[in-house]
Chain A
Amino acid sequence: MDFFRDQEIARRNTRLLTALFVLAVLLLIAVINIFLAFVLTASQTLESGDPTTFELSDLDIRLTLLVSIALIVVIGAVVLYNWIRFSQGGRCVAEALGARPACSNTENPLERRAQNVIQEIALAANMPVPPLYILDKEPGINAFAAGISPGDAVVAITQGALTQLTRDELQGVIGHEFSHILNGDMRLSIRLMAMLRGITFIGDMGALLMRSAVSHRARRSTKSSNNNTVGLLLVGLVLYLVGLLGGVMAGLIKSAISKQKEYLADASSVQFTRNPSGISDALKVIGGYTPGTLVDTARAEEMSHLFFGQVKHRLWLMFATHPPLENRIRRVDPHWNGEFITRKNNLSFPEAEATSETGMAQAQRSLAAALPSAMATEMGGIAASNQQALPATSLDQPPDDLTAAIVEEAREPLGAMSLLLALLWHENNPGKQRAAIEAAKISGLEALVVERGRELQHLKPELRLPLIELCLPTLKTLSPPQYHQFKGLLINFVKADGQIELFEWCLYQLVRHYLDPHFVKRSSSPQHAQLKAVSESLAVALGTLALLGRGDTDASFQSGLQIIGLPLVMPAAEAMGVQQFGKAIEQLANCYPLLKVTILKALIKVAEQDGQISPKELTLIKAIAAVMDCPLPNQVLHNVMLTR
């Protein structure tokens, strides 16, 4: 599965979408105008008594123009409003749909299980854990992912999915949602949603006008106001009918763009979970479950393409946003015997995992255990592709995995803050860092940081990034003042020893990149379509990585150039400070997706020139990928290594 190509396809689909939308608006305008002209001629006929026939040439130019402009203004305003609103991130969409955020350290066993599943898959995808939202009171089994970039993505699931699915099936469903995030479908979905809202809004307004006209009439039945009410009713009816037509067109557009993406996401889900039965069983359970995937929320219809399964019943396949269940199951499980799975009662998950306190602790431990093992398989994959084993770096260090206590701590705001600071803790020279914490005046933080700082001193380098990614979503629950306070503290912490290390840069950038959009408004769009435009930044990035390796710096740099295909010169050492490096990566982040993959390939090539990728290099590459908004799922990393 090539996520980068899919991102590019999604981008192209956006253009197709815009074209379809313009077409739909033009069609709407034409229909309204013809209808108006028809009504006007008809009324003239009634008044004069002459039987005049309706012709297109009868269109009153001024009226037509006015109506058209008014329509465009209204549709434009609605689209713009929704666009801006939904671009603020996934949580706005989730909140609009009535979902509630699940507490990151919830004690509800079912929500806890879902949180764990999300964390595991985020790990496989190498992206920060998206916050979990719950759609309460929805018995149907469904889920959706929303957000523009991985940094502001959220995953929401219905109550039905929480209670009806087993852990494996839930994993399949959430894997499906994650691939939507990675394929760049969310940006498209959100634009689609904003545009379609513009079309359907007309119908809503018509309904509103009709309703107010009817209630107006019921209250006052004097003759003078009667004429007005009839007029209002008529206008409302016309708008409503036009809205219906718009709804039909919106349905067609949605259906055209949505279906193919669903097959793709099902396939990627199998890749994430490495377990085809997870998603296919989930689909079979849906087939055998009476509420199916239906969702009741008022606004579910307009956002139906975001969901895991069909939100409303569809009579015609033409309007369906999702392919038929049977087809989806067959694509994942070709040997399916055609039988659905029926679950009689709720809560079919194993007792041990959920209900008891020990079960929860067990789940904690399993997650803690999953972290290093996931890293290990990835490292193993890299080693295999290099056809030589990695040096046994992990053996001469004490085995300091992430303990269950640390994973637990990462779920709680104060704990997550202390863990991030502890990663930066200088055991030998704590004076200024202590002062920085004291200045922040957060009670209890200092003790936590010192304690964890000692513990994390010996953390394996390759576990640092997963730990950071585990902490980031929890910090989204801070209030804005608390976040700004924390960011200030983080900066002071990094600067405490008078110099900025590469890892410190990585951590700060990750925090800034994933949390800033949540608290501060920000927008950026790709600017660079050619590598030439960013050649200087490229040279700095490749050069820094080449310096980090153990082999011949120049040879490493040159090997990266083979992939880039540009004649770059290795910058002087003083031009490659952490600050220059930071600026360079920020510029590279503004490239188009397909360029980013070339850049990442070149970086990997440079890193492995000396025959191995050290954990330090790997962390740096992953951090760069994260800042560039294109998280590298483990298997993609693996593929890149294989196909070099």
Chain B
Amino acid sequence: MSTTLIIFISTIAILLIWGIAIYNQLVALSNRYKNAFAQIEVQLKRRYDLIPNLVESAKGYLSHERETLAAVVEARNEAASALKAVGDSGIDSGSIKNLAGAESALGAAMGKLNVVMEAYPDLKASENMQQLSEELTSTENRVAFARQGFNDSVMSYNTYRQSFPNMIIGNAFGHREDATLLEFADSAVIQDAPSISFS
């Protein structure tokens, strides 16, 4: 009896250790992608802080384009609250998709504003505006870079979680769902050259 018991206990112990190892790795990977999101968050916040300044400086010149400006402000507020929602509710697929949608809308609105601003050379030449748009471009680059890092870590978490036998442990102990990649649909829209008709 004692021999089997000892073998039984040893087997349980080894299985337990293995399980703990997998679980710990899952926790580590999920912490990593959450931290990567914090990087995006800082840059997005910075972007949302810059946009009202931009709108404020453009207002004087763009008195005939109130709608465009209002659309930018609205999209900015939407995106800011979507980001806040991610912070409050944690990084789940719903809130991430919301944020991605809001960001796409903001990107489109900003693209429109850029096109409009083309028509006002004074505005583009103002030093304040140049500085602001330089800041914005730089911040957007940082967002893109941080987003790549976030998506990489989400990918490695998902891959680890889906492989066998990790999925058994994951399903049993609260790692049931894949993390969602943050994809901005706008990137294609923004890079399309604005269609201008010469009629």
Give the B-binding residues of A (Cβ under 8 A): 63, 66-67, 70, 73-74, 77-78, 81, 85, 92, 95-96, 100-101, 103, 105-107, 201, 205, 235, 412-415, 442-445, 447-448, 477-482
Contacts and interface: CB of A to CB of B under 8 A. Distances in A.
A412 B148 contact: no
Contact of B148 (A96, A477, A479): A479
Contacts of A105: 39, 42
Contact of A414 (B9, B28, B45, B142): B142
The 4 closest A-B pairs by CB, nearest first: A444-B141, A479-B152, A103-B38, A70-B6
A100 B31 contact: yes
A117 to B, nearest CB: 20
Nearest to B146: A413
Nearest to B21: A81
Contacts of A70: 6-7, 9-10
B110 interface: no
Contacts of B137: 444
A240 to B, nearest CB: 13
Contact of A103 (B5, B21, B35, B153): B35
Given A101-B31, A107-B45, A477 B2 contact: no
Q: Is the interface of B mostly helix, strand, loop or mixed?
A: helix
21 contacts: A70-B7, A70-B10, A73-B10, A74-B9, A77-B17, A85-B24, A95-B31, A100-B31, A100-B34, A100-B35, A107-B45, A205-B16, A235-B5, A412-B42, A413-B145, A444-B138, A477-B35, A477-B36, A477-B39, A480-B156, A482-B148
A595 to B, nearest CB: 36
A85 B25 CA distance: 10
A414 B141 contact: yes
Given A81-B20, A481-B152, 16 more contacts: A77-B13, A77-B17, A85-B24, A92-B24, A103-B42, A105-B42, A201-B13, A205-B13, A412-B43, A415-B142, A444-B138, A444-B142, A448-B138, A478-B149, A479-B152, A482-B145
Q: What is the interface of chain A mostly: helix, strand, loop, or mixed?
A: helix
Interface residues of B, number: 41
A78 B12 CA distance: 12
B71 interface: no
B144 interface: yes
B52 to A, nearest CB: 15
B172 interface: no
Given A63-B2, A81-B17, A96 B24 contact: yes
B138 A443 contact: no
Contact of A412 (B13, B21, B35, B142): B142
B189 interface: no
Contacts of B34: 100
A92 B27 CA distance: 10
Nearest to B45: A107
A74 B38 contact: no
